Copies of this chain bind each other. A is one copy, B any other.
C-alpha cells in the first residue's frame, strides 16, 4: 500500500526528460499534448474541474474521492484504519469484524480527522521571488521566502476562511497558493474486515497479483448534515478492459526524481539504512508488546501494520538505489547537464557550482546523522502532544511569518484538530515505546551527550518513561485545552512529568532544527533553484514537479507486466482470492473472514477484484480514485507492485504498476457479502 514516507531533506534538482506515462501533473498543467497524441483524449476544463473537486485529501496521509451527492467518500481501509481502530474497544473490534453502519444516524465520527478539497490554485511565484535578492545569504533568502509565504497564506486564510498553503514547485522555480475547503466532521460508513482489506498481509503488500478489498467509506458532514460536495465521481457502468486509459487523481506524498547524485548517494548510504534500522527496532518493540495478549495485539496492530509497510517500501527504495544500471543513467544525465553549464561561461559564473554546494552540505549532514535522528520527540504520542503544548504559546507569541511552519495562523486549525483528538492512548504501549526510544538514544549518543543528560537526568530510560507516562495528565483532552488556555505561564508552571520532559528536550531540538533549516535546507533550496534554472535553459520544462502531498493527475492504461518468466494479467478476480487462500491452506495472513467462506456461493467469482495500470503513483496516493475517460469511478488505488518502489527515483513502465481495487469487485462484495444494499444503491445513484 501507499502511505507517504518523507525524509527531511527536500526534493530537489535537475530532471531527466519525461517519457512514457511519467508524471504526477498539477491540475493547472496537465499533459494535454501527450494525452491527445498518444491516447487521442483531450480532457476539458469541466472534466478537470470535476475530477479535482471530487478528489479529497485525508490529512493523516492518504487520498480519496466523493462518490455520492450526499458527501459519501471512499478511501482505503489502511487510510481509514486509525479511525476504525479508534472507534473500536476491547469489547467491539471493528478492525477485525468490519463495520457496516445500519443507517445514517449510526455513522460514528472519527476523532481528529481532517479532509481537504483543493478549491483554488494561484500562481504566486512573482510574489515569493520578489522577497529574495541575489545579495542575500542562503539563510537570509530562506527567511525572506518564509516570511513572504506566511504573509500570502495568512492573507488568504483571513479572506476565505479556508486552509491556504503556498506550495513550492519545480525546486522553487515556481510557487503556487493552494486553497482548500476543509471537512473536520468525518464519520465512518463502512469498513470491511482488515483480513480482507489487507488480505495477504505483509507478504503480499506491494505486490501483484493481489486480492484485497482495501476500501473504507466515510461521510463528510457540515453543520451536522451530510455535506453536499461541489462534485462527485459517478460509479461507472462501463466494464473496464485491458488497455483502457485511466487517470489517478490524488496526493502523492513525495518523490525524489530530481535529486542530485550527492543526494541520492546520501539517501542510499545514510538516510535509508538509518530509517530501516529504526523501523526494525520499533517493530521489535511493538511485536513484543503485541505478544502479551489479544488486547495488546489489537492495540498495536495498526502501528505494526504501518511500520511493516514502511519497512517494505523503504527496503524496495534502497534496492532501487543499489541498482547500478539505473544509477548510472542518473549519473550520466547529471554529468551531461554539468558539462553544458561549464561550456557556457556566463551561466557558469552566475550559478557557481550548485552540485558541489549540495554535495558539501550532504557531507555535513552525514556527519551529524546519528545526532539528528536521536534529538527530538519520537517514541511516544504523549511526548509529541507535550511538545506541541510547550511550543504552542511560544510560537503563537511570535509574528506569524517567523514561526515554525506548523504554527502559522493558516495551519493552526489543523494543528488544534490533531491536538484535541479524542483518539485513545494506551499507557502501557506508550511506556514500552518511550522506554525503548530513550534506551536507544543512550546507546547511540552515549551517557555524556548533553541531550542524553537532559532527557534522562542520570536515571534509567525505563524509569524516565514509566514516571512520565504514569504521572502525566495530558492524556485528558480537557487538560490539554486548559494548558493552551493558560498560555506560556501555565506551561511554565506545569510540573507534569511529560511536559517537563518536553521542556528539557525543546531547546536541544530547536537547535538541531535551526541548523537543519539554516545550514542545510536553505543551501539545498538555493542551489536547487540554480540547477533548475540550468535545466530549463538547456533541456526545457518537460517534466512534472516532484510530488509533495498536493493534488496531482497521473494517467496510464490498464496493462499487465512481465515477471517471473511470464506476463502477469492486468486483473485478478474473486477466483484468485479463493485460490490464494486455499493454496496456503487458509492460514494467516491468507485466512478468509467468515463472511467470505459462508457467502462464497452467492458471489460471481469471475468479477474483477483488483487491477493494474501504468499510472505514475507513490506513497500518499493511497485511496486515490482511478477514473475513466468519461470521468467515472472505475477503481481505487491502494498499492503499487514491488517494482513500483523504485518510482521514488525513476519512472519505468516496463514493470512498475499502480494497483487498484476494481469498482465491480467493491459493488459485488457490498451486495453479496455484506448485504449493504443501501450503500450500494447510493453508489448507483447519479
Residue A576 lies at the interface, judged by CB distance under 8 Å to chain B: yes
What residue of chain B has the Cβ atom nearest to residue A605's Cβ? B578
Q: Which of A25-33, A202-210, A371-379 contacts B (4 or more CB under 8 A)?
A: A202-210
Whether A583 pairs with B579 at a CB distance below 8 angstroms is no
**A583 and B570 in contact, given A575-B605, A578-B575, A578-B605 (Cβ under 8 angstroms):** yes
- Supposing A575-B605, A585-B242 touch, asked if A569 and B580 sit within 8 A by C-beta, the answer is yes
Q: Are A203 and B576 in contact (CB under 8 A)?
A: no
- Contact in complex: A578, B564 (CB < 8 Å): no
* Chain A residues bordering chain B, tally (CB within 8 A): 37
Q: Are B583 and A203 in contact (CB under 8 A)?
A: no
Give the distance in Å from the alpha carbon of A534 to the alpha carbon of B492 in the complex. 82
Instruction: Please indicate the chain B residues that have their CB under 8 angstroms from the CB of A579 in the complex.
Output: 572-573, 575-576, 579
Indicate whether A466 reaches chain B with its CB closer than 8 angstroms. Answer: no
Q: How far is the CB of A169 from chain B (nearest CB, A)?
A: 32
Distance in angstroms between the alpha carbons of A488 and B208 in the assembled complex: 65
In the complex, whether A254 has a CB less than 8 A from a CB of chain B is: no
Nearest CB of B to A662, in Å: 11
Decide if B565 touches A206 in the complex (CB within 8 Å). yes
B573 touching A582, Cβ below 8 Å: yes
- A241 CB–B CB distance under 8 Å: yes
Q: In the complex, what residue of chain B is closest to A586 when comparing beta carbons?
A: B606
Tell me the bound Cα distance from A582 to B585 in angstroms.
Answer: 23
Contact B241 A564 (CB under 8 A): no
- Find the B residue at minimum CB distance from A200: B566
A38 proximal to B (CB < 8 A): no
A112 on the interface (CB 8 Å rule)? no
* A641 interface contact, C-beta 8 A: yes
Tell whether A571 pairs with B582 under 8 Å between CB atoms, given A564-B642, A642-B565: yes
Is A316 interfacial (CB 8 A cutoff)?
A: yes
Identify which of residues 576-593 in chain A touch chain B, using a CB-to-CB cut-off of 8 Å.
576, 578-580, 582-585, 590
Contact with B along A639-664 (1 / 0, CB 8 A): 00110000000000000000000000
Report the Cα distance A398→B612, complex, angstroms.
67
User: A92: CB under 8 A from chain B?
Assistant: no
* A312 at interface by CB-CB < 8 Å: yes
Q: Are B570 and A312 in contact (CB under 8 A)?
A: no
**Chain B residues near A203 (CB-CB < 8 A):** 566-567
- Per-residue B-contact encoding for A315-346, CB less than 8 Å = 1, 0 else: 01000000000000000000000000000000
Shortest Cβ-Cβ A-B pairs, 9 listed: A565-B642, A569-B583, A576-B579, A575-B579, A582-B606, A207-B566, A207-B565, A575-B578, A571-B583
**24 A-B residue pairs with CB within 8 Å:** A200-B566, A203-B566, A203-B567, A205-B565, A206-B565, A312-B565, A564-B564, A565-B641, A569-B583, A570-B583, A571-B583, A573-B578, A573-B579, A573-B582, A575-B575, A575-B576, A575-B579, A575-B582, A575-B605, A576-B579, A576-B583, A579-B579, A582-B606, A605-B605
Give chain A's interface residues, CB within 8 Å of chain B.
200, 203-209, 241-242, 312, 316, 563-567, 569-573, 575-576, 578-580, 582-585, 590, 605-606, 608, 641-642
- Extra A-B contacts (15), CB below 8 Å, given A203-B567, A572-B583: A200-B566, A203-B566, A204-B566, A206-B565, A207-B566, A242-B585, A564-B564, A565-B641, A572-B579, A575-B579, A576-B576, A576-B579, A576-B580, A578-B606, A579-B579
